[in-house]
Structure 1
Amino acid sequence: MMETINQQVIWANTFACVAEQGSFTRAAEILGCSKSYASKQVSQLENLLKVALFFRTTRKLNLTEAGKVYLAHCQSWQAQVSAAQQAVQALREEVAGLLRITVPTSFGGVFMSQILIALRERYPMLEVELDVSREPRDLEADGYDLAVRSGYLGHERLVSKPLVSAQLCLVASPACIARSPELASPSDLLAWPCLTNSHFRDPCHWVFNRGNELHAVDIRAELRISDYGLLRNLALDGAGAVCLPYYLIAGDLASGQLQALLPEYSLPAQSLYLVYPQRLPQPAKLRVLIDFLSDWFAHNQQATH
């Protein structure tokens, strides 16, 4: 069925070109085919429609009544195709339209309010639909333009662009510290109540750095939870020591509700990436969003460290 429709479109284009040029010869030159091939395509179209589209004489080529009606529809169709192409081109170049974005829960809660307000001020024609979720979405199947993800994906149909490195901090509440054994090195955490994020691989394997030395410890965590926000609340309530991104607990550290543990040791930074489907050319709205997010975090590095 589709092949028949495609063939009819080719015949119709040839017919329209012949009608507009008034000559099979001139139409064949424009279409890059032989005169006999152009004539055959028109004849096939006439056979399909079961009407004559031209009055043919040795010197003149005139449209029949059916030919005039069919040409009008062909011209209308060509105008619609041209308008569609122009609309798509404008959409590709205009910073407007809907952007569908998905980000992790903790990231969204901390940053996206400021980002969305600043984005709207700069690009008032943009609309944003934001999904805040612990579960990674399928960008292609679910129709998302862009995601923020932790860790490099290396997916062949997705582009991953580094966004920012978020420093992780080992923290606990003053109450938890007061009732727990002295903490002088990572190995002492074996006697501590610990919380961990089950979203990540090997969540109980914590690696610390001091100078050029690595110190790894396999902690025991009775609570393993796949949400940084809930882990923060548990830490505030004294449930145990936990590794959390600095951006999530900066205010808690400043107020003293949480305290940094083992400050002479550092934890690996958590790399965050912008992830989006490969589309060529990229719509303007996506290009400006990628640049905007990259610039925003470049100027707000203190928010993640």
Structure 2
Amino acid sequence: MQINDNRLQIVFTVKPMETMASDHLEQQLQWAVTFATVVAQGSFTRAAEALGCTKAAVSKRITQLEAALGTQLLYRTTRRLALTEAGRVYLTHCGDWPERVAAAQRAVAEVGGKVAGTVRLSVPTSFGGVFMARALLAFREHCPEVAVELDLSAIPRDLEAEGYDLAIRLNLAPPERLVSRPLAVLRDWVVASPAAVATHGLPAQPAALADWPCLTNHHFREPEHWAFERDGTLLAVNVTGPWRANDYSLLRNLALGGAGAARVPSYLVAADVAEGRLLRLLPAFDLPAQPMYFVYPRRLPQPAKVRVLIDFLADWFAQPAQAALLGLRSVGDKG
């Protein structure tokens, strides 16, 4: 509407209904993403840093959102933030929106482009020491644009809190919030040096290990209780020995030195057994299987750099010649 004379000019501009709805939706999305980021970061200051805006802008958006919804979403104190009941309900619907937006940006960036970037990978110390040099050299040839930052640790990392993209875990239940993918099934072997066997005799049954000096790993809950299985029958023995350690490589070295019988992962001593430096005791009896799997944070979609590393390692470990060389069993092998 426009009125125009020598004294007064009034102009009304009316937006189309579609534009008004679009503007409102855009604002609602901005508020929701800000709210979800505040909750994830635990403070307005860190949320502002993550969003690339000021703390005042974050506070304003939350205030506007609460006003629009007609309810309080956050309890604010000088020390912490806490969700109200309404805040918890609202978060169930928008909590993953910031990650979805970031995932959409990653997915678009990857379309038609090279897979590149750095993957932070954590693996158990003994496992990484045996396998990862060869695996990563092969991966470098396959995908030279992806770098790997490798962490070797006996303690499982908190992938989300510590910023890891991927981990390989052995015989540990993965947290429910993480994704897991089976990789292989491993078993421990009991091994000893030829000199130790000459001194103590070759055991025919697990019970005979009670008379052996045995090297145990005190990282586990019952390190002196070794349970074997054969043809569905459980045969357990309580062992004793002069040394306990929480490092498989040290136990292997003690066994090589003739200190006694050691229970260690097959992959760590397969080459020693093949070359006669160690003898496998009680090969007809199985120790409990240990599942090995990939673990990674849930992202939609997974970054291409992580997907390509997971797929490569899964294929690398699944190769029959490779599995036999490394003393691994495939996931489908129940024996």
TM-score (norm 2): 0.65
Aligned AA (1:301): A
Q: How does 1:294-305 map to 2 (within 5 A)?
A: 294-299=314-319, 300-302=322-324, 303-305=326-328
Give the SS at the match of 1:220: coil
Residue 275 and residue 196 in structure 1: after superposition, are their counterparts in 2 closer, same or farther (change >3 A)?
A: same
AA of the residue aligned to 1:304 = G
Letter in 2 for 1:89: A
What does residue 31 of structure 1 align with? Answer: 20
Separation in 2 of the partners of 1:282 and 1:107? Answer: 25
Higher relative contact order (CA 8 A, sep 6+): 1
Q: 1:150 aligns to what? A: 170
Distance 1:301 1:255, change over 3 A: closer
| Partner in structure 2 of residue 239 of structure 1 | 259
Q: CA deviation at 1:117?
A: 1.2
Q: Structure 2 unaligned runs (5+)? A: 1-11, 28-101, 329-335
Residues 222-254 of structure 1 show CA distances to partners (whole Å, capped at 9, x for unaligned) of: 322111111111100111101122211122112
Identify which range, 125-134 or 179-188, moves more after superposition.
179-188
Task: Summarize the Cα distance change of 1:90–1:198 in structure 2 as closer, same or farther, 3 Å threshold.
Answer: farther
Q: Is the 8 A contact 1:134 1:226 kept in 2?
A: no
Which residue is equivalent to 1:268?
288
Distance change in 2, residues 1:32/1:113 (3 Å): same
In structure 2, distance between residues paired with 1:29 and 1:240: 80
For residue 261 of structure 1, report the CA deviation from its aligned partner: 1.0
Name 2:146's counterpart in structure 1: 126
CA distance in 2, matches of 1:223, 1:87: 54
**Residues 103, 300 of structure 2: 8 Å contact kept:** no
Alignment partners' CA distance in 2, 1:91 and 1:138: 28
What is the CA-CA distance between 1:288 and the residue it aligns to? 1.6
C-alpha distance after superposition, 1:78-121 (max 9, x if no partner): xxxxxx99853345655211100011111111111111011111
The amino acid of 2:160's aligned partner reads E
Matching residue's letter, 1:88:
R
Is the Cα contact below 8 Å between 2:206 and 2:236 reproduced in 1?
A: yes
1:24 match: secondary structure: coil
Structure 1 segments (4+ residues) deviating >3 Å:
84-94
CA distance in structure 1 between the aligned counterparts of 2:104 and 2:288, rounded to whole angstroms: 49
Residue 230 of structure 2 is aligned with which of 198, 205, 210? 210
8 Å CA contact 1:157, 1:277 repeated in 2: yes
- Which residue among 197, 201, 204 is the counterpart of 2:221? 201
Name the SS for the 2:15 alignment partner: helix
> Using the alignment, how far apart are the partners of 1:146 and 1:239 within structure 2?
37
Partner of 1:50: none
* Alpha-carbon contact 1:91-1:283 (below 8 Å) kept: no
What is the correspondence of 1:14-93 to structure 2 with a 5 Å cutoff? 24-26=14-16, 28-32=17-21, 88-91=106-109
* SS of residue paired to 2:243: strand
Counterpart residue identity of residue 148, structure 1: I
CA distance in 1, matches of 2:230, 2:122: 35
2:107 maps to a residue whose letter is: Q
Deviations 1:115-150 (A, max 9, x none): 101111111110110011212211111111111111
Within-5 A mapping of 1:223-262: 223-262=243-282
What percent of counterpart residues are identical? 52
| Structure with bigger gyration radius | 1
Q: Which amino acid aligns with 1:31?
A: M
Q: Name the CA shift for 1:95/1:238 in 2 (closer, same or farther; >3 Å).
A: same
SS at 1:287 equivalent: helix
Closer, same or farther: CA 182–297 of 1 in aligned 2, 3 Å: closer
Offset, 1:182? 5.0
What TM-score do the two structures reach when normalised by structure 1? 0.71
Give me the CA root mean square deviation.
Answer: 2.5
- CA gap of 1:134–1:24, structure 2 versus 1, over 3 A, is same
Q: Separation in 2 of the partners of 1:170 and 1:89? A: 48
- CA-to-aligned-CA distance 1:142-170 (integer Å, 9 cap, x gap): 11111111114241211222111123211
Partner of 1:219: 239
| Mapped contact 1:167–1:304 kept (Cα < 8 A) | no
- Aligned equivalent of 1:160: 180
Specify the code of the residue in structure 2 equivalent to 1:257.
Answer: R
Matched, 1:285 2:274: no
